[in-house]
Amino acid sequence: MADQVDRLAADGVEFVQILYTELHGVCRGKEVPIGELHHKVESGIAITEAIMTIDLGHNVIAGFEHGFRDILVVPDTTRFWRLPWDPTTVWCLGDIREPDGSPYAADPRHAVRRAATALEGRGLTAIVAPELEFYLVDPVTYETYTTHPSSVYTVGTQSDPRGVFREIHRNTCEMDLGSLGGAQEYGRGQFEINLSHGEALETADRNFLFKAMVKQTAARHGLLATFIGKLWDDEGSGMHLHVSLRDADGLNAFHDAEAPDGLTDLARQFGAGMLDHTPALAAFLCPTVNAYRRMEIESLAPTHANWGLDNRLALVRYPHQRGRGTRVEMRLGDGGAAIHNAVAATLFAGLDGIDRKLELPPECARLPYEDESTLGAPLPSSLGEALDALAGDAYLTRAMGDRLCEIFHTIKRYELDRWLAELAKVTDWERREYAHHL
């Protein structure tokens, strides 16, 4: 550790920002001088457990019962990310631990580790690749960075007049976050940069830091970058999660060259597990009241639990690539999901399908709403329904961790109650509609 600190300091690094995720997926952390890093590795950084129960409305929901006890953030020094906009600073991620050094039960990174380890126990390595979309908007008015329609899949000055997207893309490359390319997406002022696939924890970490970098880069230009599902009545922002499994020989365990569809039984069982647990998965993949606004009939966001071969209108999609590229895509995810929770829950769901040898229902081969026999069961239409489904899914609760799910339910039920109270208020629409006439 001392040599590592000396090398960083000699290279001009003055500060380390030790970042961690909580159950909302917010990037939190602490900045320390480079010379303090080795002490933080040895002792950890004490934070109050109440940080896990602060909602996004600045309310502390729980923690009073034990006097706001300490938990620790311990730097994971296996990798550092230098900031292109401030070369004197590096990022590193932190693991949340109990004071005795054991993993904190509600740490989302720990949940991903446990899911990956469970698959490794069956001779399989999880490979994942999330796809994240985001909007660039004015932080006060929410007016989009660009306003012209029909600019999907365009690049250059017309879709990026101030070079903000280019700076985000350059930072993605310079931080070695794995850019494969990017462009404007379907919505006005909506963008996407695809990141490379990789092992579960490493990829979840990169996508978590990517979101943080995008937000910080936008903020330096006086803009807000947001990944939430529906900002306006325009195209939603999703988080499509691609998953494959690698066997002990390093081969894609989802590919079968002899099968008519090119898929192994393992690939089909994994997808069947995702379908079986979809109602509960929705709580982690669509964890806000806003997320359910994406789910519209005949849109690219799913509304029912079904699957298809290269069918983007299905919930679970097997893209056309085979061989090393054989994979399954879960299309339910909202851009506002906490990436580590989403990855862990999806892996656990697929694993259950493998262990129980579940079978896929009949394929949805066209527009889902044209054939009720393959349409599938409706997905949860609200956060409340998804939380109820998670509470009723004993397997997924146990797999993700009872304590993690307990805290998750606490903060999300409180958030939902606040939303319902907001809905109970008299609206401008009611005043405009009725006051003059009645």
- 100, 135, 165 — which closes off a domain? 100
In a shared domain, residues 216 and 354? yes
Write out pLDDT tens, residues 314-356.
999 999 999 999 999 999 999 999 999 999 999 999 999 999 9
| Angle (nearest 5°) at CA 252 between 246 and 256 | 140
Q: What is the 3-state secondary structure (H, E, C) of the chain?
A: CHHHHHHHHHCCCCEEEEEEECCCCCEEEEEEEHHHHHHHHHHCEEEEHHHHHECCCCCECCCHHHCCCEEEEEEEEEEEEEECCEEEEEEEEEEEECCCCCECCCCHHHHHHHHHHHHHCCCCEEEEEEEEEEEEECCCCCCECCCCCCCCCCCCCCCCCCCHHHHHHHHHHHCCCCEEEEEECCCCCEEEEEECCEEHHHHHHHHHHHHHHHHHHHHHCCCEEECCCCCCCCCCCEEEEEEEEECCCCCECCECCCCCCCECHHHHHHHHHHHHCHHHHHHHHCCCCHHHHCCCCCCCCCCECCEEECCCCCCEEECCCCHHHCCEEECCCECCCCHHHHHHHHHHHHHHHHHCCCCCCCCCCCCHHHCHHHHCCECCCCHHHHHHHHHCCHHHHHHHCHHHHHHHHHHHHHHHHHHHHHHCCCCHHHHHHHCCCC
Contact 195, 141 (CB under 8 A): no
Query: Amino acid identity, residue 212?
Result: A
Write out pLDDT tens, residues 116-130.
999 999 999 999 999
List C-alpha distances in Å: 199 to 54, 148, 343, 404.
30, 38, 11, 23
Q: Which residue has the tokens 């893209």?
A: 319
In a shared domain, residues 154 and 287? yes
CATH of the domain at 61: 3.10.20.70
Residue 103's contacts (CB-CB under 8 Å, 6 or more residues apart) are 95, 96, 97, 110
In a shared domain, residues 329 and 389? yes
List C-alpha distances in Å: 357 to 271, 327, 392, 431.
11, 18, 21, 56
Residue 180: inside a domain, yes or no?
yes
Evaluate if residue 177 carries a pLDDT over 80: yes
In a shared domain, residues 42 and 183? no
In a shared domain, residues 120 and 239? yes
Tokens of 302: 């799913």
- 73, 100, 127 — which closes off a domain? 100
Tokens of 280: 């509960």
Evaluate if residue 357 carries a pLDDT over 80: yes
Write out pLDDT tens, residues 35-59.
999 999 999 999 999 999 999 999 9
Residue 277: inside a domain, yes or no?
yes
In a shared domain, residues 89 and 192? no
- 100, 122, 157 — which closes off a domain? 100
Evaluate if residue 64 carries a pLDDT over 80: no
Query: Amino acid identity, residue 255?
Result: H
Residue 320: inside a domain, yes or no?
yes
Instruction: Report pLDDT for 296.
Output: 87
Residue 438: inside a domain, yes or no?
no
In a shared domain, residues 90 and 132? no
Contact 339, 211 (CB under 8 A): yes
In a shared domain, residues 90 and 140? no
Residue 106: inside a domain, yes or no?
no
Model confidence at 5, in pLDDT bands (50, 70, 90)?
confident
Strand order in the sheet with 70-83: 27-33, 15-21, 86-97, 70-83, 45-48
| Angle (nearest 5°) at CA 349 between 347 and 353 | 110
**High-pLDDT (> 90) share of the chain, %:** 90
Evaluate if residue 233 carries a pLDDT over 90: no
Backbone angles phi, psi at 392, to 5 degrees: -90, 0
Number of domains in the chain: 2
Write out pLDDT tens, residues 252-292.
999 999 999 999 999 999 999 999 999 999 999 999 999 99
365: phi > 0 → left, psi -120 to 50 → alpha, else beta; which?
A: alpha
Average per-residue pLDDT for the chain: 95
Query: Amino acid identity, residue 190?
Result: Q
Cα–Cα dist 143/165, whole Å: 16
Cα–Cα dist 373/319, whole Å: 22
In a shared domain, residues 85 and 208? no
Write out pLDDT tens, residues 93-104.
999 999 999 999
Greatest CA separation for the chain: 78
Cα–Cα dist 63/49, whole Å: 7
Rg for the chain (alpha carbons), in Å? 22
Evaluate if residue 63 carries a pLDDT over 90: no
Residue 84: inside a domain, yes or no?
yes
Residue 431: inside a domain, yes or no?
no
Model confidence at 219, in pLDDT bands (50, 70, 90)?
very high
CATH of the domain at 135: 3.30.590.10
**High-pLDDT (> 70) share of the chain, %:** 100
In a shared domain, residues 75 and 147? no
Backbone angles phi, psi at 309, to 5 degrees: -85, 115
- Domain hosting residue 290, numbered range: 113-402+410-419
Instruction: Report pLDDT for 66.
Output: 76
In a shared domain, residues 166 and 315? yes
In a shared domain, residues 189 and 214? yes
Residue 432: inside a domain, yes or no?
no
Model confidence at 229, in pLDDT bands (50, 70, 90)?
very high
